[in-house]
Structure 1
C-alpha cells in the first residue's frame, strides 16, 4: 500500500534545547508535506554545540524494542534517515533497521555526524568512525561535511582543498557504497567569501557544485537542516541539483534572517521565521555541473 503522505523514519537524537537534530528535522519535513516518524537515539537536555554539562540519556537499550514494534505493525517508509548516534553499538541496530525496512522503492540517507572544522564532536571517537564506515555501505545517499568525509576516508583534514581533490573524495566515498555523495562546508579556494557544497551521482557520473556566500556566524544544526531540506526536495520530486540548490538557499536564508537578530547563536537558526519559504518556487538556480 502506497503512503498517501511520504513517510520518513528519522533516526536521530532529541535535544530539548536548541534547533538541531529532531527539533529541526520534524518541523522542516512536516512543512514540506512529509510525515516524520522519530526514532530517538538519545535524549539530551541541549544539543552539544556551545553547551557544556548537558544531560545525556543513551537510548541504545530501548532501540531494538522500538524497532520490533514498528516491524510488528508493518510500517512502510519512503525514506530511512539516520544522523547523530548516541553510541557505536547503535550503528549495528541501524544496520538491522535498514535490513528490515529497506525496499526497492525507498531510500536510505545517512548523515554521518561526527565533527566539524577538523575535530570530533565531544561524544565521538575513532570507534564511531569505523561504525559509520559500515553504515554508509548500506546508504543510497550520504551527506558528510568536509571533516566527516576525511574521517570516513582515513585522510588528513585539509581546509584549503583543491576541486580535483574533492571530486576524488566524492568518488572514493561512493565506491564505499552510496550512489549519491554530498560533501558540505567546503571553503572555496578561489572565492574567499564563499562556502561550497559538492555532490556526485554515481549513476549519471556527474559532479555538481553549489556555492554560497559565507556569513561569519556559527549556528549549530545547519547540517540537520541542510539534509532535511535535501531529502524533502527529493521526495517531492526535485532533481538532485535542484534539491541541492534549494537546500543551500534555505540555509543561507535562515542564517541571514537569524544574523539580523541579537540572541545566542548556539540556539540555532530561527527556523520559525523562514519555514514558510520552503514551498516557494525555485528561481535563479545556482548549481554548476563540473567537468
Structure 2
C-alpha cells in the first residue's frame, strides 16, 4: 500500500467561524489527503463581525512542536501556510519548512493579511515585507490584489485592467519559485478572474468564474484549500484554479439567503460536489 500523502497547514484556529484551519482541515481532507495542523494562534471567533474575541498567540510553541516532530521523524509532502499571527513566526515557519518538508515537496503560501485595500487588524507594511520573503519559499503563492499590492509596494484600487493584473503577476514572479495565482480580476462581462502564471515557462492564463454579488469572510480560505487539494491529487495549476473557483462559488450559493449566516460560507454542504468537479476539470 502506498504511503498516504501528508500535508501540514499552518494558520490560525478560530474556534467559531468558518475560516483558516476550520476550512483547511475538512476541505483538504476531502481530497483523501491526510492533513496535519499547526495553529499560529487560537481565537474564540474570527475577527470579522465579532467583538471582544479572545486571542492566544502560539509563537512560543512553534519551536518545541518542530523539535518533537523531528524526534518522531515526521515529514510532510507539502506545507500550506495561511493566516500567520506575527512577523516573529515567519522565521520559525521557515525552519519548519526547511526541516520537515520532504525532498521535492510543495510549499503553498496564501499571504492572508489584507483585503479591500486594507490590512487585517494588527498587520502593517513591515509585516507585508516579511510575508513577501516567506512567499519566496513558495512553489505556489495565492495573493488577492490587496495583498499583491502591499507585497509589491503598489497602490491598490478597486478595479484593475487585465493588463495591470498581468503586470502585477509578472512582478510577483520575484516572490515565488514557480507559480503565481493572482485573485481578484473582474472583466467587463462581470466575471471574476484569476491570473495563473508559470514562472518557468512564462505562460499566463486567466481562469474565469461567474461573479456572485456576495461578500463573506473565509472565501479566500475555501479557494486556497481546494486549490491545494486539487494540485496535490495531480491537477495542473490551471485546472486547480478552475476547481477552486467553482467550489468557492458553490459554497457561496449555498449560503446566500441565510441572513443569520454572516460568519462564513457553507462550504461543508458543497464538499459532496468536489468529486464531480475533479472529474469535470
- For normalisation by structure 2, the TM-score amounts to 0.95
Change (3 A) 1:148 1:281: closer
Q: What are the ranges of 5 or more consecutive residues in structure 2 without an aligned counterpart?
A: none
Does structure 1 residue 251 correspond to structure 2 residue 248?
Answer: yes
Query: How far apart, in 2, do the equivalents of 1:59 and 1:3 lie?
Result: 34
Q: From 193, 204, 210, give the equivalent of 2:207.
A: 210
Alpha-carbon separation, structure 1, partners of 2:259 and 2:37: 31
Q: Give the whole-Å Cα distance in 1 for the aligned partners of 2:101 and 2:206.
A: 29
| Mapped partners of 2:96, 2:167: distance in 1 | 31
CA distance in structure 1 between the aligned counterparts of 2:252 and 2:259, rounded to whole angstroms = 13
From the superposition, tell whether residues 68 and 201 of structure 1 become closer, same or farther in structure 2 (CA, over 3 Å): same
Does structure 1 conserve the Cα–Cα contact (< 8 Å) formed by 2:17 and 2:45? Answer: yes
2:136 aligns to what? 137
Alpha-carbon RMSD across the aligned residues, in angstroms, is 1.6
Counting only pairs closer than 5 Å after superposition, residues 258-273 of structure 1 correspond to structure 2 as 258-266=255-263, 268-273=264-269
CA distance in 1: counterparts of 2:173 and 2:49, whole angstroms: 32
Secondary structure of 1:78's partner? strand
TM-score by length of 1: 0.92
Is the 1:159–1:186 contact (alpha carbons within 8 Å) kept by the matching residues of 2?
no
Residue deviations 1:179-200 (CA, integer Å, cap 9, x gap): 1011112232x22x32211110
Going from structure 1 to structure 2, the CA distance change for 1:42 and 1:213 (only over 3 Å counts) comes to same
Q: CA deviation at 1:282?
A: 4.7
3-state SS of the aligned residue for 2:45?
A: coil
Is 1:181 matched up with 2:180?
yes
Tell me the SS of whatever aligns to 2:40. strand
Contact 2:180 2:198 in 1 (8 A): yes
Counterpart in 2 of 1:289?
none
Say whether the 8 Å CA contact 1:3–1:76 is kept in structure 2: no
Structure 1 gaps, min length 5: 286-291
Count of aligned positions: 281
